[in-house]
Structure 1
Amino acid sequence: MDVAASTHDGLRKATTEVVLVLEYRVVDGATWHVRMERGTVGVIAGPADEPDLRFTTNSSTATAMANGTLDPLRAVIDGDVVLGGDPRVLVDHRAVMDGLGDVFAAVRAG
Structure 2
Amino acid sequence: MKIFYSMILLFLISISVTADANTVGGKIVHVGSVNETIVFRIVGGTDTNRPACATTLRYAVHKDSVHASLILTAFATGKDLGTVSGLGTCSLWGNAEDLRFIEICPATGCS
TM-score band by shorter chain is under 0.3
User: Whose strand proportion is higher, 1 or 2?
Assistant: 2
User: Whose helix proportion is higher, 1 or 2?
Assistant: 1
